[in-house]
Structure 1
Amino acid sequence: MVSLGAGILTLALVCLVSFILGDWSLMFKFSGIIGLISFLISGLFTGVFVSGDRVRANWTHEDSEDQDFRQQRASKLFLFGLPNLAGAILYIVLTQ
């Protein structure tokens, strides 16, 4: 839950900067980039972008501690990026 709080705090900081500068499109750009990068790295940790054969090969040659570490990092990055991506989507919905 700390990573979700950090994501919300990051989104709040981006919103504050956008408010101070008077350019709300910065919120879309920065929070969208932060959210997408977090989701992509999370996907890399979980093995979403590789074939099933590669996932099985990695699964058999990796001990459970490393698997748990990767899954925890992927979950934390996903939770960090979720509020930022939601903020970018909210900007799109409100400006349409």
Structure 2
Amino acid sequence: MKAYTFIIGIIIAAIGIIAGLFTGDVSKTYWLCGIAAAIGIVFSGITMGAFVGGMETRANYFSETKDHHQSRFSLTMLFFLFGLPNLITVLVAFLIQMYA
């Protein structure tokens, strides 16, 4: 399942690159890949519990089972692997535009 999510992220990154090349406007690549990367990273943070405080983290830790923790971590990795190729695409496009 993780490989499919990564492949979907690569496909969206490729669509962003193609849109930027055909229109001659790199901002299309920034928008498409940037939004996909932000969605992946934000949802990864939400499922990981990165945006909650200490009391909520402690309550979640003591109330969840090992299976729940593993499934939550798996979902976190799915979102992260979706956003990673898009984040890399945005960074590479930025560096190419900056130094070309």
Q: TM-score, normalised by structure 2?
A: 0.86
**For the residues of structure 2 that align with 1:88 and 1:5, how far apart are their CA atoms?**
17
2:53 aligned residue (51, 54, 60): 51
Identity of aligned residues (%): 29
What residue in structure 1 maps to residue 26 of structure 2?
24
CA-to-aligned-CA distance 1:2-33 (integer Å, 9 cap, x gap): 22122111111222222233322100111011
- Is 1:35 matched with 2:40? no
1:34 is displaced (CA, Å) by 0.8
Which stretch shows the higher mean deviation, 76-85 or 56-65? 56-65
Q: Which moved more, 1:1-10 or 1:27-36?
A: 1-10
Post-superposition Cα deviations, 1:40-61, rounded to whole Å, max 9, x if no partner, equal 1100101111122211101111
Q: Which runs of 5+ in 1 are unaligned?
A: none
Write the mapping of 1:1-96 to structure 2, written as runs, cut at 5 A: 1-96=3-98
Aligned-partner Cα distance in 1 for 2:91–2:18: 17
Stretches of structure 2 lacking an aligned partner (at least 5 in a row):
none
Q: Larger RCO: Structure 1 or Structure 2 (Cα < 8 Å, ≥ 6 residues apart)?
A: 1
Q: 1:65: Cα distance to partner? A: 2.1
Give the counterpart letter for 1:27 in structure 2: T
Give deviations 1:66-95, integer Å, cap 9, x for gaps.
221111111011011001011111111111
